[in-house]
Amino acid sequence: MTKYYDIDDIITEEEIVSVIFQKAASGVGIDPSSENDYIETGSKVELPFWLAHELQLRQVVSINIPSCFDQKTRLEIQADCASVDLRSRCPFFYEFGCKIAPVVGDRTIGFLLLSAFKNRYKELLTKAHTAAFSAATKIWSILTNEEINLYEAAQSSMASFKKWRIGGPRFQKAPVLGRKRNQLNNYSLNLSGVFDKKELLGFYEYLISPLSLRGVTSINSAYYFNYS
Amino acid sequence: MRESRSTEFLAVDFEFPTKSPATTEIQRSRFLHSSLRFLLLIFFFRIFLFKFSIAAIDSLHQGQAVPICHPVLIGYFYAHNLLGQFSLSLKLFAKGCFFRNCKMYGRKACQLVKELASGEKGQLTPFNSDLFEQVVAECSQHHLELQSLIRKMQEEGLDVQTTRNAEHHGALIHHLSLVRNKRCLMAYVYNRAEAIQSLLWKIGHVLPQEIEEKLCHAEAEYFKKHSAALKSYMSKVQLDLTVDMVPPKDPYIQVRVLDDIGDGIVLSDDKTANFARHSMHFLKRTDAEQFISRGLMEELTG
């Protein structure tokens, strides 16, 4: 019950699964194919997961495996994990899989999730730590929400490291007030200090890709252009 | 490639019959043939429209109620030609169309919660009181239906606690939707309250205008009472708890003023200062902190 107020948990449970009603239900307008409010036994309905789960506990419905865990996805994950577009299948792929696994009775979902996550995490880790800000959108579209959290954590830790290295100001405008100015204020580059690229990059020489080099220089020049 | 395929169908020549179709056998058959082709054209055009509207649903599969018959939407996505996954889109279309058309059963409540999630991290969205009221109204509706079903069971003379017939399951579904709506509403209010609490620690006791607009009346009251409680606690402990946790190296700090704050502001050591734009000052760190966190000043290092 620790997740009662958790927003991600609520959105995860809203995913739609298809169920088959084992018993009839009357007085509900959930099944659009029937004329009146009566749902017959054996009718196939699409329900959100929170409803389907509770009804299955009371043995009113039986849940089928949702389409995001079907054979096609499994083959794609086996082939090349890192480029599979999990976001379009289900934005909360891993969470949803964890919830579905005990309910549907399919023992292979756990292994599928684990292998998918292990392979994607390798890619995610390198890209999150080295990618420039402009390159983020390409990988962003195929990540699930849990992976995006990890990605953002890595980016923020990189930003804090750079800030510590350069020695930016400790106080900044509170993020809840929104960004009235351009994005650069959040990174607070030192006005009079020299941004010594080589000194910083020496530490990351084995990780830095050409893209991030370009990103770093663009920040440097744009800051001076935008300074009023 | 797809564009040429669609023009292939659109470029079908449609000959209007010059005379009335009943004159000769040949002309009648020609009319039938051309009308058949016209029907075929319409049929395939509708299939393309259908496919593109599926793509619209596909790309808008975010749980919102999409007006799928809106001609502008269809035209827009027709131009973009997002056909790739016809079967997947069809499945999503089926899922989306059927379940989204029924307005109850937690859809609106989920929308409310998604609004919270959609704002940028750490930002408050304006309080959506319409949607809130709608969800509350939905709850009472569910409750009424529940009661009517229970009454039906009682009229039939069945024991309400133990029978498991169709009405019972219907009542169960209404009850679960009610509980789900309650959970979504509670989560909405709770997360906003947490955000407001953190506001106090980051910005201070006075809220800027842009944030005041986003709060509802009850939330503004909550903020006032919370800040009053904190002030009384701090005065009892005789410590200012809202300052920075890390002890500074230098009690004084150099700042530049970004926005016009005005002059005659009294600082903690009873001096008045004139904060005009772009002026630089040498202030105590505790004074400057509140202005910096509101974005009115900027720290100058080095």
* Predicted pLDDT at A84: 83
Q: β-strand A61-63 against A44-48: which pairing, if any?
A: unpaired
**The residue count for chain A:** 228
Residue burial B190-228, b: 16+ Cβ < 10 Å; e: rest: ebbeebbeebbeebbeebeeebeebbeeebeebbeebbe
- What's the predicted TM-score (pTM) here? 0.67
Least Cα distance to A50 among B84, B203, B105, B255 occurs for B105
Q: Which residue from B minimizes the CA distance to A175? A: B122
The shortest C-alpha distance from B29 to chain A (Å) reads 41
CA angle A54, A59, A65 (to 5 degrees): 70
Set of chain B residues whose Cβ sits within 8 Å of the Cβ of A10: 110, 113, 183-184, 187
* Predicted pLDDT at A132: 61
The shortest C-alpha distance from A174 to chain B (Å) reads 5
Task: Give me the DSSP letters along chain A.
Answer: -TTSS-HHHHHHTT-EEEEEESS-B-S----TTSSSSPBPTT-EEEEEHHHHHHHHHTTSEEEPPPGGGSHHHHHHHHH-STT--HHHH-TTHHHHHHHHHHHHT-THHHHHHHHHHHHHHHHHHHHHHH--GGGHHHHHTT--HHHHHHHHHHHHHHHHHHHHHHT--S----GGG--SS-GGGGT---SSS---HHHHHHHTTTT--HHHHHHHHHHHHHHHHH--
- Residue A107 scores a pLDDT above 80: yes
What backbone phi and psi angles, to 5 degrees, belong to B294?
-90, 0
Nearest to A23 among B169, B202, B302 (CB): B169
- Taking the Cβ of residue B252 and every Cβ of chain A, the question of whether any pair is shorter than 8 Å is answered with no
- CA-CA distance, B300 to B277, in Å (whole number)? 15
Exposed (0-12), middle (13-18) or buried (19+): which is A14, by Cβ within 10 Å? buried
Nearest to B95 among A8, A16, A192 (CB): A16
Count of A–B CB contacts within 8 Å? 153
Q: What is the ipTM of this complex?
A: 0.72
Nearest to B113 among A10, A55, A192 (CB): A10
For A122-136, what is each residue's pLDDT tens digit? 888 888 877 666 556
The shortest C-alpha distance from B99 to chain A (Å) reads 7
- CA-CA distance, A164 to A160, in Å (whole number)? 6
Set of chain B residues whose Cβ sits within 8 Å of the Cβ of A28: 170, 173-174
Residue A183's pLDDT band (cuts 50, 70, 90): very low
- CA-CA distance, B291 to B258, in Å (whole number)? 10
* Predicted pLDDT at A205: 43
Per-position pLDDT tens, chain B of length 302: 444 444 444 444 545 544 444 455 666 667 677 777 777 777 676 666 666 556 555 555 444 444 444 555 544 444 444 444 444 444 444 444 444 445 678 888 998 998 888 877 778 888 889 999 999 999 999 999 899 988 888 888 877 777 778 888 888 889 999 999 999 999 999 999 999 998 888 888 888 888 888 889 999 999 999 999 999 999 999 888 887 777 777 788 888 888 776 666 667 666 777 777 777 888 877 777 777 777 777 777 65
- A87 versus B300: which is more confidently predicted? A87
Please give the average per-residue pLDDT across A206-222, as a whole number: 41
- Taking the Cβ of residue B199 and every Cβ of chain A, the question of whether any pair is shorter than 8 Å is answered with yes
Nearest to B117 among A7, A177, A193 (CB): A7
- Which of A160, A177, A195 best tests the B interface by mutation, with the highest count of B CBs <10 A? A177
* Predicted pLDDT at A29: 65
* Predicted pLDDT at A215: 43
pLDDT over 70 for what percent of chain A? Answer: 66
Cβ distance A7 to B191 less than 8 Å, yes or no, reads yes
- A195 versus B268: which is more confidently predicted? B268
In sequence order, the 6+-apart residues with CB closer than 8 A to the CB of B45 are B9, B10
The shortest C-alpha distance from B49 to chain A (Å) reads 22
Cβ distance A170 to B187 less than 8 Å, yes or no, reads no
Please give the average per-residue pLDDT across A177-182, as a whole number: 50
* Predicted pLDDT at A53: 92
* Predicted pLDDT at B221: 93
- Residue A147 scores a pLDDT above 70: yes
Contact present, A48 and B192 (Cβ < 8 Å): no
* Predicted pLDDT at A83: 82
Residue type, B184: C
* Predicted pLDDT at B157: 81
In angstroms, the Cα distances linking A158 to A179, A188, A211, A212, B276 are 21, 14, 15, 12, 36
Least Cα distance to B63 among B26, B109, B18 occurs for B109
Residue type, B265: I
Place of tokens 């010059």: B18
For A8-58, what is each residue's pLDDT tens digit? 899 999 988 888 888 888 877 665 655 677 788 888 888 899 999 999 998
* Predicted pLDDT at B96: 44
Q: What is chain B's Cα-based Rg?
A: 33
Cβ distance B187 to A55 less than 8 Å, yes or no, reads no
Nearest to A10 among B61, B164, B183 (CB): B183
Cβ distance B302 to A50 less than 8 Å, yes or no, reads no
Q: β-strand B272-275 against B262-266: which pairing, if any?
A: antiparallel
Cβ distance B294 to A174 less than 8 Å, yes or no, reads yes
- CA-CA distance, A33 to A39, in Å (whole number)? 9
Q: Which residue from A minimizes the CA distance to B105? A: A30
